[in-house]
A and B are shown apart, each in its own frame.
Chain A
Amino acid sequence: MKPAPFRYARAGTLAEAIALLAAAPGEHKVLAGGQSLVPMLNMRLVRPAVLVDVNGLRELTGITPGPEGGLRLGALTRHAELAASPAVLERAPLLVEAARHVGHAAIRNQGTLGGSLAHADPAAELPAALLALDARVRISGPRGAREVAAEAFFRGLLTTALEADEILTAIEVPAQPPGWGFAEIARRPGDFALAGVAAVVRVAPDAPAHVEHARLVGFGVADRPLRLAGAERHLTGRPLDADIAARAGAAAGPDCDPPSDVHGSADYRRHLATVLIERALLQATSRLAGRPR
């Protein structure tokens, strides 16, 4: 399995990368970590004429703490870097947990955050975590720079708001509330999840604390990372406890539209989603009560 012949260019700057894309409209691919693109090239599922290697773009690197507890993550941030970053652990621990679940060590050493988002596998961890965190995606292209909310970025199976001549440059992550959870079921460590849930919960400062706002995102349960609105509605205005967690899980079923394949049926994945919502919310409950789990 070898890729079809292509031409390759190593871009030195973002401006050069954008010019390279503009010079080969519609027949190029951006090469970052290559952990999803290269298998697709080798299997000849994609046959670009030109590969534009962006690994040398310093503009796309770096983990920078932003104002008000947020983070700016360069698109070339490797999963291993994300998983080991003290700044990310402090400001968005959900992302550290999600990054630890991506692939195997060799994949995490090479794979990039921007690549994971641009590829948009519906069972991937990082797109779901960033959607739960209400992150924004920064994009540059020949028409200038723009920013898209994660919510509007994922459009369907391997489909995003990124135009063919644009490059994903960074991700802006707002401060993460202290209530969060992450749970997935995969057949082996490192496999794509059969189903998973990323949860972020903000509670009112009163006691017993009521949920002010919850973002629950399922992955592996639809054609894209999916906000589980039915489950979220169950939480708002109520105190977060084991009973509510179970009921929120049970309410998620109708929102999910998972695939059936050799690894599991759609019904099984829907069942997993209900169980995983409950688990993720129980984690959030413990964290809010100051009991790490």
Chain B
Amino acid sequence: MTTPSERLAVRLTVNGRPVEQVVEARRSLADFLREDLGLTGTHVGCEHGVCGACTVLVDGRSARSCLLFAAQLEGRAVTTIEGLTPAGGLSPLQESFRVCHAMQCGFCTPGMIVTTTELLAREPAPSTEAIREAISGNLCMCTGYVNIVRAVERAVAARAEGARA
């Protein structure tokens, strides 16, 4: 039988790179990414699954990294905002956020990008209502939602344009 342990080894993939590390059992995935791997793009807000700032992708599906323990990620593939950002530039969705001024303080932005990346992977042309619903789990305390919705709509339009061209 497995013996319960306060520290344990975990092997996972983060942004395509294999990682093997011994972690404290109570280490959240969010703290693991930020403190142990130096990936500070994942922001930590409420630490109880409400604000969405720490959203990452686990095997391609969005997850609150404050509600997972690093020890649970054995064999899984984690993608953070750093992994969604091309070297030396911005992804089309990030570029849309920039153009539309879809950020003020920027704290919620990584979570917004991760959440809407999953949305666009699942639904290539979401309605405005679907975009609003998708980001309802990500709090923007600057209340910049209008421009965030615009940015996602612009990214959808730009992709459709690109597909036609």
Interface residues of A (CB under 8 A from B): 1-12, 16, 19-20, 23-24, 31, 34-35, 38-39, 41-43, 50-53, 55, 80, 103-107, 109-110, 188-190
Contact = CB atoms under 8 A, between A and B. Distances in A.
Contact of A24 (B4, B26, B52): B4
A103 B2 contact: no
Nearest to A78: B61
A12 B1 CA distance: 9
Contacts of A109: 58, 61-63
Contact of A9 (B3, B55, B66, B119): B3
Contact of A105 (B2, B3, B28, B134): B134
Interface string B44-77: 0001110010010010011110111101101000
Contacts, number: 110
Interface string B21-57: 0001110100100000000000000011100100100
Given A42-B47, A104-B137, A106-B115, 20 more contacts: A5-B6, A9-B2, A9-B4, A10-B71, A11-B2, A16-B2, A20-B2, A20-B4, A24-B4, A34-B67, A38-B48, A38-B69, A52-B4, A53-B71, A55-B72, A104-B52, A104-B134, A105-B118, A109-B58, A110-B63
25 contacts: A1-B47, A2-B26, A2-B28, A5-B6, A7-B4, A8-B5, A8-B25, A8-B69, A8-B71, A9-B3, A9-B5, A10-B74, A34-B68, A34-B72, A38-B49, A38-B67, A38-B68, A39-B48, A42-B28, A52-B4, A104-B136, A105-B115, A106-B62, A109-B62, A189-B136
Nearest to A109: B61
B8 interface: yes
A16 B1 CA distance: 6
B149 to A, nearest CB: 14
A203 to B, nearest CB: 34
